[in-house]
Structure 1
Amino acid sequence: MTTVASEHSEQAGPGTMAAVAAVDLVKVYGAGDTAVRALDGVTVGFERAQFTAIMGPSGSGKSTLMHCLAGLDKATSGRALLGGTDLTAQPDRVLTRVRRERIGFVFQSFNLLPQLTAEQNIMLPLDLAGRRAERGLLQHLTGTLGLTGRLNHRPAELSGGQQQRVAVARALITRPEVVFADEPTGNLDSRSGAEVLLFLRNSVRELGQTIVMVTHDPNAAAYADRVVLLADGRVAGDLAHPNQDMIAAALRDLAVVR
């Protein structure tokens, strides 16, 4: 079994250091004989200004955990904490506001509005929240992501890599407490994927951003500061400062144990 990294057991545990945390989180789909226990008492915290990857076999609960922590799905029991806010105790109208104002999202499928330009897609979360743009931040994001000359183009006029970079800028433009990235390189070629991952990592270093990424790709996870491993709805391991070899070995161990 993968060894839990001791230096993270205190720093990233649920508490004051965690940007987002699960406490004894349970998620059950269905009822009776057909019930599926996707999360089985998960307790884990994600430290501020850190890039964490969540990995595990298919059906391990990694996407369910992210959805509950992001307020996209309701847990059956336990707590999902964003800072001091227990998302499991909030009504839908509050969750909508929290997702808009405090959380950023990057999805595998980009989720850009086709009728809007790249700049309009980036600015959409601020427009919905009635907030002014930080022009310096917009210029930094679009310049660093190589989008300066593409801001007036619509998604259909952009490559897949460019569309995902627009999605990353959109996720960061509100300076959210945490960005959740769900297989952000799944639809990209290796070069475009590496560019997106490098920018996500640099956003932690340069902007103090907190990133939580779900991925099945050890190469993508190696960009993270930490990897949390799930199996059968439970935390099964925790790797600090991972590399591809460490991650591949940990995944092999999970497969053997299961």
Structure 2
Amino acid sequence: MQMKVVGHTAVAAVDLVKVYGEGDTAVRALDGVTVGFDRGRFTAIMGPSGSGKSTLMHCLAGLDTASSGQVLLGETDLTRQPDRVLTRARRERIGFVFQSFNLLPQLTAAANITLPLDLAGRTPDPQLFDRLVTSLGLAGRLTHRPSELSGGQQQRVALARALVSRPEVLFADEPTGNLDSRSGAEVLHLLRDSVRDLGQTIVMVTHDPGAAAYADRVVLLADGRLAGEIDRPDIASVTDALQNLAAAR
């Protein structure tokens, strides 16, 4: 199956299949998923446990290889690229925010933010750096190491690190999972603001209807297949959709 990727599509899956294992023990985590994610929009991926949502995100981000089908980052087919090209794409075109903050404990907040650019031999845009640390409330914390920061502050550092390279797509995997409700809401507001103010594209996996309500759109998965989507979601519409998916299993 071929999918024409138009200019507003940042990343897409085309007839994507992912199988783990072989023979009688094989698990079909993704079963022919075709879905696109528009530039400058915030999309949440949701579904019951085992639905394939994390597998889809990992394949889209080039962190896992598909069994068949395509992953298109812009017009680049990631499933046809050698490891060195994938590594470069992850470093230069894709941003990541995970449930665990993945900060280096020996580095200051400022050094953690610029680390990927430093490794790539690139210089941060000073205006963007200043804008990010100001909007994320980190201006007074740049000389602090992770152990001197709260969980919410550490996740803000991780978000600044992901955004400072101007990625084409930012993937967020349960970004509020290790945060209290107040810190989690702050991070979600900041993700929302990066879409509105910076034109960032965000694809987020979450199990939380409250988190998904910050998105422009929710893509639903069940048993490795697309199971619908919600435009302009709110907590009630997401909760109802998840309950319907659970009842149908």
TM range (shorter): over 0.9
Alignment of 1:1-258 (within 5 A): 14-258=5-249
The answer on whether the counterparts of 2:5 and 2:75 sit within 8 Å (CA) in structure 1 is no
In the TM superposition, what is the alpha-carbon distance from 1:15 to its structure 2 partner? 3.4
The answer on whether the counterparts of 1:14 and 1:44 sit within 8 Å (CA) in structure 2 is no
In the TM superposition, what is the alpha-carbon distance from 1:17 to its structure 2 partner? 2.1
In the TM superposition, what is the alpha-carbon distance from 1:130 to its structure 2 partner? 1.0
Q: Aligned with 1:153: secondary structure?
A: coil
Cα distance per residue 1:30-66 (max 9 Å; x no partner): 0000000000000000000000000000100000000
In the TM superposition, what is the alpha-carbon distance from 1:147 to its structure 2 partner? 0.5
Residues 62, 14 of structure 1: alpha-carbon distance in 2 compared, 3 angstrom cutoff: farther
The answer on whether the counterparts of 2:96 and 2:171 sit within 8 Å (CA) in structure 1 is yes
| Cα distance in 2, alignment partners of residues 73 and 135 from structure 1 | 33
Q: Give the AA of the match of 1:184.
A: P
Q: Give the AA of the match of 1:215.
A: T
Q: Aligned with 1:93: secondary structure?
A: helix
Worse-superposed segment, 129-138 or 67-76: 129-138
In the TM superposition, what is the alpha-carbon distance from 1:204 to its structure 2 partner? 0.5
Q: Aligned with 1:130: secondary structure?
A: coil
In the TM superposition, what is the alpha-carbon distance from 1:120 to its structure 2 partner? 0.4
Corresponding residue pairs, total: 247
Q: Aligned with 1:150: secondary structure?
A: coil
In the TM superposition, what is the alpha-carbon distance from 1:14 to its structure 2 partner? 4.6
Cα distance per residue 1:89-139 (max 9 Å; x no partner): 111111111000000000000001111110000001111111111111111
| Cα distance in 2, alignment partners of residues 194 and 14 from structure 1 | 33
TM-score by length of 2: 0.98
The answer on whether the counterparts of 2:5 and 2:74 sit within 8 Å (CA) in structure 1 is no
| Cα distance in 1, alignment partners of residues 52 and 5 from structure 2 | 19
The answer on whether the counterparts of 2:41 and 2:202 sit within 8 Å (CA) in structure 1 is yes
The answer on whether the counterparts of 1:14 and 1:43 sit within 8 Å (CA) in structure 2 is no
Q: Aligned with 1:176: secondary structure?
A: coil
| Cα distance in 1, alignment partners of residues 108 and 223 from structure 2 | 42
TM-score by length of 1: 0.94
| Cα distance in 2, alignment partners of residues 125 and 51 from structure 1 | 23
| Cα distance in 2, alignment partners of residues 155 and 228 from structure 1 | 34
Q: Give the AA of the match of 2:236.
A: D
Q: Aligned with 2:54: secondary structure?
A: helix
Q: Give the AA of the match of 1:66.
A: M
Coordinate RMSD, CA, aligned: 1.1
